[in-house]
Chain A
Amino acid sequence: TQLLEQSPQFLSIQEGENLTVYCNSSSVFSSLQWYRQEPGEGPVLLVTVVTGGEVKKLKRLTFQFGDARKDSSLHITAAQPGDTGLYLCAGPRGGGSYIPTFGRGTSLIVHP
Chain B
Amino acid sequence: NAGVTQTPKFQVLKTGQSMTLQCAQDMNHNSMYWYRQDPGMGLRLIYYSASEGTTDKGEVPNGYNVSRLNKREFSLRLESAAPSQTSVYFCASSDLAGGEQYFGPGTRLTVT
Q: Which A residues fall within an 8 A CB radius of B?
A: 2, 33, 35, 40-45, 48, 88, 90-93, 97-105
Q: Which chain A positions have C-beta within 8 A of B35?
A: 102
A102-B42 contact in complex given A33-B100, A48-B100, C-beta closer than 8 Å? yes
- With most chain A CB atoms within 10 A of its CB, the pick from B41, B92, B98 is B98
Q: Which chain A positions have C-beta within 8 A of B100?
A: 33, 45, 48
Answer whether residue B109 sits at the interface, using C-beta atoms and an 8 A cutoff. Answer: no
Contact-residue size bin, chain B (C-beta under 8 Å from the other chain) = 20 to 34
CB closest residue in chain B, given A102: B43
Cβ A42 vs Cβ B105 within 8 A: yes
Cβ B106 vs Cβ A41 within 8 A: yes
Q: Which chain B positions have C-beta within 8 A of A105?
A: 42
| Alpha-carbon separation in the docked complex, A93 to B44 (Å) | 13
Smallest CB–CB gap between B58 and chain A, Å? Answer: 7
